[in-house]
Every structure is written in structure tokens, then in C-alpha cells.
Amino acid sequence: MLSFKVQLFSVLKSKLQTDSVDLETPEGISVGEFLDLACAQYPVMEPYRRVMRLAVNQTYSEDAHILQDGDEVAIITPVSGG
Amino acid sequence: MVADESRKRLVQLSYERIDIPAAYRFLQTPRAGGVAVFIGTARQWTGERETLSLTYESYKPMALKEMHRLIDAAEHKWPIQRVCLLHKLGEVRLTEASVLVGVATAHRAEAFAACRFLIDQLKVQVPIWKQERLTDGQKVWVEGNHPPR
């Protein structure tokens, strides 16, 4: 198993009332599977599944990308800067 | 304000007020024949909804990387002499600047085009979010419709 601290911002941070959650995953998990698992574990995220991206080591990552132990991960919902 | 080593670009995410004259001074160079500056400001009315102030937060290390990446892309497309990309974090009051994009190029067409590209891309790619404080006391996160690419 791998263990990740998932950083949260904006609407997810408000809805979950925390700026990070812990997630345990099997080894070899992909970004897409990781986001599905996060939504299953924290159902309040589910409405955002279609529009969320995972940043891995501060870079947007594709669904097929495989996560490694120690990766820095953050869930990014549509941004609204400017 | 301190420019990075290349001295061609100034990128900043700060809780301090955006220093517009300092940004303009940075953009000045005899190599440029045009300087385009876009300043995004806090707007009071969105249709029927009245905003009292905005608050911005970011995933700062990644936001700075993305801002530099957007400038890299702009420099690949246009011959940019100087560029600055500044965003305020924390509370932004009505009429105050939340973002400043400035581009200096030899000719005006490239300055306008690069400036437009940078603000449009910043608004979909850079992990910064705004929260509106409304007259009824509510604080509402502004949620974009499209995920970053």
C-alpha cells in the first residue's frame, strides 16, 4: 500500500473543512483511479470528479500516469484566478 | 520588486498590493516600441449579485511554476522584450487590482497578442481561486466550468 497526503484548495477545502486528507492506495495506482478512489472515500468530492485534475509534484498529470511513493499530490478543481 | 536572473520577466504572487508604477518601470526598455498592460480589478456587480470584496488563494509553488510555463509559451510565440505577471492573494477590495499582465515588444501587435494570451491562459491554467464576499454575508467560491488542460 501507498500513503498520500492529498492537498485541497478552494471549494473542496471548504466542503471538507480541511486543507488535506490522507489516502491509502494500492501500489501502481493511476491518476484516474486515484481520483475515483478519493471520490469514493470522500463522497462530497463526487460532483467535481468530471472537472478535477490531479497535480503530481506540482504538474497537471494525465489519467494514465502511475503514482509513485512520495509523490506530492493536490486535487485541482477549475481555477478562478484573474 | 526583484526580477529573476534573466531580468526579462517579473513573476509574483503576493499578499501585498500590486505596485502598478513599479511594474511599468520594469517593462520599460529601449528595445520596446509598445507596452500592453492588462489590469484585472475587483468588480462590484455580476448581474444582480453584489460583491463586497474578493479573496484569492493559491497552490503557490505550482501557481508560480505555471506562470513561468505560460511565459515560456508566450516567449516561444512572440519576440517579448519584457514581461510581468503579478497576482495578488488574500483580500482584494472593489476597484483594486487583483492581477497585472504586462508585455513589452518591438511592435504593438505582439504586445497585445501576448498580453491577451497570458491573461486568458492564467484564468484556466494557474491554480488560483477566488472567493466572493456578498452583501448577504455569504462567502462563495467562484467555480470555473472547465478543468485546466
Tell me, yes or no, whether B127 lies in a domain. yes
Tell me, yes or no, whether B86 lies in a domain. yes
Q: What is the pLDDT of residues B44-85, one digit of tens each?
A: 999 999 999 999 999 999 999 999 999 999 999 999 999 999
pLDDT greater than 50 at residue B140: yes
Tell me, yes or no, whether B32 lies in a domain. yes
The contacts of residue B87 (CB under 8 Å, 6+ apart) are A81, A82, B12, B13, B14, B56, B58, B63, B67, B98, B99, B100, B122, B126, B128
Tell me, yes or no, whether B74 lies in a domain. yes
Question: Closest Cα of chain A to B145: distance in Å?
Answer: 6
In angstroms, the CA A69 to CA B109 distance is 47
Indicate the average pLDDT of chain B: 95
Q: Which of A32, A72, B141 is nearest to A40 (CA)?
A: A32
Tell me, yes or no, whether B87 lies in a domain. yes
In angstroms, the CA B81 to CA B91 distance is 32
- Which of B56, B65, B147 comes nearest A81 by C-beta? B56
Which of A6, A7, A10, A73 is the best substitution to test chain B (most B C-beta atoms within 10 A)? Answer: A10
- Which of B65, B99, B144 comes nearest A79 by C-beta? B144
Domains of chain A: 2-76 (3.10.20.30)
Tell me, yes or no, whether B63 lies in a domain. yes
**For the domain that residue B108 is a member of, what is the CATH number?**
3.90.1170.40
Q: What is the pLDDT of residues A49-65, one digit of tens each?
A: 999 999 999 999 999 99
Q: What is the pLDDT of residues A1-23, one digit of tens each?
A: 999 999 999 999 999 999 999 99
Cβ atoms of residues B55 and B90 within 8 Å: yes
Contacts of A11 in chain B (CB under 8 A): 129, 141, 143
pLDDT recorded at residue B6? 53
pLDDT recorded at residue B3? 46
All three cell numbers of B42: 475587483
The amino acid at residue B67 is M
Total domains present in chain B:
1
Place of cell 484548495: A9
State the average pLDDT over residues A68-77: 98
* Strand ranges for chain B from DSSP E: 9-14, 34-41, 45-46, 49-58, 80-88, 90-93, 97-105, 128-134, 139-141
pLDDT band at residue B145 under the 50/70/90 scheme: confident
Tell me, yes or no, whether B111 lies in a domain. yes
State the average pLDDT over residues B113-139: 96
Cβ atoms of residues A82 and B40 within 8 Å: yes
pLDDT band at residue B88 under the 50/70/90 scheme: very high
Which of B143, B145, B146 is the best substitution to test chain A (most A C-beta atoms within 10 A)? Answer: B143
Instruction: Give the domain range for residue B45.
Output: 9-139
Q: What is the pLDDT of residues B16-26, one digit of tens each?
A: 999 999 999 99
pLDDT recorded at residue B144? 81
Tell me, yes or no, whether B3 lies in a domain. no
pLDDT band at residue B4 under the 50/70/90 scheme: very low
- Which of A78, A81, A82 comes nearest B146 by C-beta? A78
In angstroms, the CA A16 to CA A21 distance is 9
